[in-house]
Every structure is written in C-alpha cells, then in structure tokens.
Amino acid sequence: MTRRIVLKIGTSVLTGGTRKLDHDRMFEIVRQCAALHEEGYELIVCTSGAIAAGSERLRMTRQPDSLAEKQMLAAVGQSRLMEIWEQLFTRFHIHVGQMLLTRADVEDRRRFLNARDTLSALLEHRIVPVINENDAVTTAEIRVGDNDNLSALCVLLAEADLLILLSDQPGLFTADPRTDPNAELIAEVRRIDADLHAVAGESKSGLGVGGMKTKLDAADMARRAGACVVIAAGDAPEAIRRIVAGERIGTRFPALDVPVENRKRWILGGANAAGAVAIDQGAAAALAGGGGSLLPAGIIRVDGSFERGDVVQITAADRTNLGRGVVRYDSADVGRIRGLQSDRIRETLGYAYGPVVIHRDDLILI
C-alpha cells in the first residue's frame, strides 16, 4: 500500500517550457498534493527550478555561463521558489519545510541519519518537506547534479514506496517521440538494460539538467530501494492523484522485491543499533544457512525500542550477538507479532509491511 510518496517536479514542468515559473501549474500540483495529504498520504516534494526562478528574478535572458553565475542564480532563486511553494501550500493550510541536500548528506552515515531524522520529524508533524539540491554551495565533487537522482536519494532517506517523476514527457518511449513518429510509450519497465539506456539517450531540455537518462538511473535506484517509480507528464490532468490511485499512466517501474547492496551499505554501515531482537535457534539456523529472512515466527523477545527502518541487533536468547539488520516494523509492532506466522501480521496490527521483520538483503550476520 502506498503511503509515502516522493514527487519530483522538473524545471520544465514548473515553467511549462518557458523561462518563468508557471504559478498556475504549481498551484495545480499543490492542489493535488493537498488532496492526497488530506487522505493521509505523506508527501515529499523534490523541486527543481531554483536556477529558473533566479534568472526570472534577475531578468536574465541568457543561460548562465559559469558555475559561480549558476550558484548566484540558485541562491536568489531558491528563496523565491520556496516562497512560492510556501504560499501555495498555505492556501491549503499545509506547512512546508525546506531541506537543501548534497550528495554528502546521503553518503556519510551520520549525516544520512541526521537528514533522515529531520525528514521523519517533518512527516510526523504532517509538514511537507520541500527538497532541492543545495545548488548555491555545492561543487562538482559533492553534487548529486540532477534532481532525478536527488529524488531517488530522497526515496532512500524516507523509505518511500512511490516515486513520481513529473516531466515534460508523458513517459519513456521506444524511440525519441520528437523525431520518430513510430515512437511508442513504454507502459511498464521490468528490466533496465543497455537497450533501454540507448532508447533513453541523453535528452535534455532547457534550464533543467536531467533527461531520460538521469530518470532511468533514478528509477533504477528507487526501485531497488523498494519503491515503485512512475515517469509521467506534469501537465496530464490529475496526473499525481491518478498515479497514486494506481491508474496506468506514463511509464511505471515496479519496485524490486530485493532491495540492493547499496541500501545495505547506506543503512547498515556503522550505524548504532537502536535495539535488539532475540531469535530462536530455528531462525538462527535459517539465517545462517543463507537466503533466509527473519520472520516474526522466529523472534522470541524485543529489547529496547526502535522505529521501522532502524538498524537493530539480532541476538540469541542469551543475548549473544548474531548480527544486525534493518527492521521493517517498530519495536511495539514486533512485540505484538513475535512468534506469529507472517500471515497473521495484518489481522494482528491492522496493517502489514510485508511478511518479514528483517529482509535477508538488509541483514548482516557476524
């Protein structure tokens, strides 16, 4: 079930292809977000457009030509951009919170956790995080560089279940639709391979920096982190709400069941365990045998308190350390489902995040 959504809005969507931010379009996006917010969804907006807003503000009619000039435009434009988002969300009585990230915020374990905590706190308070890259100060070495990939990193940070990449294109095509009349929209992608990369090419548009290539990379990262990804046109009527409702628009990349090594690196690397789960011998043998995930049935005790997504220690009954992993249920939930068969999770908790407490891809044994 989709609950947490990262919505990436490209510069071309925000400007409608012009050199100015299109407030009506932004309002339309916010209106849909507000309706979803009202229904209980958690939204994270990853917005581009700082540079576009800066050039509009400074009435610059040419493309910025140096890094310093781009950073100047971003500095001017980011506050303007934020002001507009804030005004629009305020019309629906929704607060927004700005987070400006760089690659270092997700690669460094401590900073990753800090950013994750801020994001969780905003969401917990029903505040919509509005995220962009910290363009005014980031240099090439620490930049993500495009907001497609930045939004995928937001999926990792927030453990979101849906990433929507709103673009000026209705999705991914079998060829470039601007030059090939036979180009067809690809409704669903299950494999991202070299052929698909070739189809995506290096397309770029106007003031934004992304294209289909960066969208594919972002989609790949996000689906490996367990999120479904949809690329769709930002101007399609009710696009966001229809995507969330599961309607088939744009190009959809179903989430992979197996989150990646990357995730392991980010999430397990050096974190302090928040608590522990003690498991029985059968479960320990299943984990040690390789290939097994930790199911509620094998858990005999919960020590300490932790949130869903935290790293916890896995121990034997006598507290011998066996390893660590990322839990999919918080400590209160694990306390209630421990010892149960997985098919009883939903009836016990009223919801389920899947049959496993710690997925085998999210655990390391020692």
Q: Where do contacts with ligand GLU occur on this chain (CB under 6 A)?
A: 10-11, 48-51, 132-133, 135, 146-147, 208-210
**56 vs 159, which CB is nearer to ligand GLU?**
56
Residues 6 or more apart whose CB falls under 8 angstroms from that of 214 comprise: 146, 148, 149
What's the closest the beta carbon of residue 6 comes to ligand GLU, in angstroms? 14
Q: Would you say the C-alpha torsion 259, 262, 263, 265 has a positive or negative sign?
A: positive
Give dist(CA 7, CA 161) in Å, integer: 11
Backbone angles phi, psi at 150, to 5 degrees: -60, -40
Residue with tokens 């969401």: 123
What's the closest the beta carbon of residue 270 comes to ligand GLU, in angstroms? 29
What's the closest the beta carbon of residue 250 comes to ligand GLU, in angstroms? 18
**50 vs 232, which CB is nearer to ligand GLU?**
50
Give the bridge partners for 299, in sequence order.
279
What's the closest the beta carbon of residue 221 comes to ligand GLU, in angstroms? 15
Residues in the chain: 366
What's the closest the beta carbon of residue 209 comes to ligand GLU, in angstroms? 4
What's the closest the beta carbon of residue 281 comes to ligand GLU, in angstroms? 51
What's the closest the beta carbon of residue 38 comes to ligand GLU, in angstroms? 28
What's the closest the beta carbon of residue 84 comes to ligand GLU, in angstroms? 13
**21 vs 286, which CB is nearer to ligand GLU?**
21
Give dist(CA 244, CA 71) in Å, integer: 35
**212 vs 273, which CB is nearer to ligand GLU?**
212
**147 vs 331, which CB is nearer to ligand GLU?**
147
Edge-first strand order for the sheet with 128-133 is 96-101, 128-133, 42-47, 4-9, 162-167, 228-233, 251-253
Number of Cβ atoms within 10 Å of the Cβ of 336: 15
Give dist(CA 192, CA 205) in Å, integer: 23
Residue pair 337/296 in contact (Cβ under 8 Å)? The answer is: yes
Give me the half-sphere count of Cα atoms (radius 13 Å) on the Cβ side of residue 123: 22
**157 vs 295, which CB is nearer to ligand GLU?**
157
The secondary element (H helix, E strand) that includes residue 9 is: strand 4-9
**6 vs 279, which CB is nearer to ligand GLU?**
6
**44 vs 209, which CB is nearer to ligand GLU?**
209
DSSP string, 94-158: --EEEEEE-THHHHSHHHHHHHHHHHHHHHHTT-EEEEEE-TTT--GGG---SHHHHHHHHHHHH
**128 vs 130, which CB is nearer to ligand GLU?**
130
What's the closest the beta carbon of residue 196 comes to ligand GLU, in angstroms? 20
